[in-house]
């Protein structure tokens, strides 16, 4: 289990990491899992993309990651990527 700087465990809060752009220590019931997600240096299009290019990026992201599933598992990288980056 990873600890924050002060020794306090932060659950369901995204963090920066060296291998991926984000990481989160997620908890669902009694299960705790470290999830790393996102390509470093790449930003998402945001919740309300303005440009035509960002709208196309968001549409492509949803098509690649099966985003039509309305209830992804909280312990999946897809859930956190959608919540934090897109």
Tell the residue number behind the tokens 């990651």, with chain if given.
65
By C-alpha distance, which of 22, 30, 27 is closest to 78? 22
Contact 62, 56 (CB under 8 A): no
Tens of pLDDT along 10-31?
A: 667 666 666 777 788 888 888 8
Using 50, 70 and 90 to split pLDDT, how confident is the model at 61? confident
Tell me 13's DSSP state.
-
- Stretch 33-56: mean pLDDT: 80
Distances (CA, A) of 71 to 66, 67, 75: 11, 9, 12
Of all helices (H) and strands (E), which one includes residue 11? none
pTM (2 d.p.): 0.64
């Amino acid at each position: 289990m990873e600890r924050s700087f002060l020794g306090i465990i932060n659950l369901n809060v995204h963090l920066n990491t060296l291998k991926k752009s984000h990481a989160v220590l997620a908890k669902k019931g009694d299960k705790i899992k470290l999830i790393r997600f996102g390509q470093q240096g790449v930003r998402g299009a945001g919740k309300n993309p303005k440009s035509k290019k960002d709208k196309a990026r968001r549409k492509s992201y949803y098509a690649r990651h099966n985003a039509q599933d309305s209830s992804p598992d909280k312990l999946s990288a897809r859930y956190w990527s959608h919540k934090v980056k897109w």
